Amino acid sequence: MSEEDLLPPAHPAFAAHFTSRFYDADDPGHNELPPFGTDEGADGVSEWGGRLDVLERARSLRELLGEDADEQIADLRGGDSADGDDLLVSLGFTFLRYTGRIDAEGRDWLLEALRRQIKRYPGIEYATMLQDLSIFAPQSHPGGATPRPAEPWLDIRYGGGDSGLDRWCRRWVHAADADLAWRDWWAAADLNRLTLYPHIDTRRNYVKFNPSGRRALNVIGASVRLGTLVRVVQKRSSKPSHPPQAPFLSVPEFEELFESLLLQMLHRTADHLGLPAPA
């Protein structure tokens, strides 16, 4: 690519947060990859690169979509248009690339489109875009502070000691935070914070609730099947410790049993608060 063909540089906030190589719109090695290598994405990022003044003045993705934005989103939700979702994703990420911001409604629309694309194309690009966007804080007004990662409403504290499991928990939390059904549930829960404390090495089944200050709730839970597996792993790897410190994710069944416990704790919390849990 010649120097004359290079696009305007990405906003620093975008470049700092969206770091995977396929976000580099100037890299010809990423042709055909979203968000800027597809036909829709390449055309969009190039055309809008010559209209930066319009993007910088725009307050929202809705404004860029035009007066029929609601109709366009309804059509995408009710139909099966991969090209339509790619157009929306390319426009949203072009907006992000050049301005370093996205409004809350626009981010939700993009997350929905990315989830639909993941079902159609289970490659790593759409999944990475979903994860990156889900932890990028929305910001509507030009000239505001640089967006920072949003703090999810949910936290998981199992005791620590396994860096791989720590990362898995963070990804799980951000996925829950990005799930529109759970976010709607959370908005109705009238809490500021929900912290899950899965006890992974106990010999009983239980879920307990412990209010923590104003509008915060701690949920403590355990599973006999998970505890049995954890104790077996500890015996094989080293002496039992508290908190457990074995590499659990390398063990078959652990992830399934651990996630099952977390979901059980969330559903029991929904019952506790008298709010139906998302399906």
Identify residue 174 by its one-letter amino acid code: H
Give the 3-state secondary structure of residue 74: helix
* pLDDT the model gives residue 4: 40
The predicted structure's pLDDT at residue 82? 83
pTM, entire model: 0.52
Could you tell me whether strands 206-211 and 216-222 are parallel, antiparallel, or unpaired per DSSP bridges?
A: antiparallel
Amino acid identity of residue 176, one-letter, is A
Count the neighbouring beta carbons within 10 Å of the beta carbon of residue 92.
25
Q: Which residues contact 31 (CB under 8 A, 6 or more apart)?
A: 37, 42
Preceding amide of 122 cis, omega within 30: no
Distance CA 138, CA 267 (A): 28
3 state DSSP class of 156: strand
- Put residue 101 in one of left, alpha, beta given phi > 0 → left and psi -120 to 50 → alpha: beta
Instruction: Determine the angle formed by the axes of helices 163-178 and 124-134, rounding to 10 degrees.
Output: 80
Strand duo 216-222 + 154-156: pairing: unpaired
> What pLDDT shows up at residue 179?
78
Query: Which DSSP letter does residue 204 get?
Result: S
What per-residue confidence (pLDDT) applies to 259? 93
Written as tens digits, the pLDDT of the chain (279 aa) is 333 446 788 888 888 888 888 888 666 555 567 888 777 778 888 888 888 888 888 889 999 898 888 888 988 888 778 888 888 999 999 999 998 999 999 999 999 999 988 888 877 888 888 988 988 888 765 554 444 444 577 889 887 666 788 888 888 888 887 777 887 788 787 777 899 999 988 889 999 998 866 678 899 999 999 999 888 877 776 555 554 555 677 888 999 999 999 999 999 999 998 888 886
Q: Which residues contact 40 (CB under 8 A, 6 or more apart)?
A: 83, 86, 87, 90
Between CA 273 and CA 59 the distance in angstroms is 37
Peptide bond into 35 cis (omega under 30): yes
Q: Compute the distance between CA of residue 268 and CA of residue 275 in angstroms, rounded to an integer.
A: 10
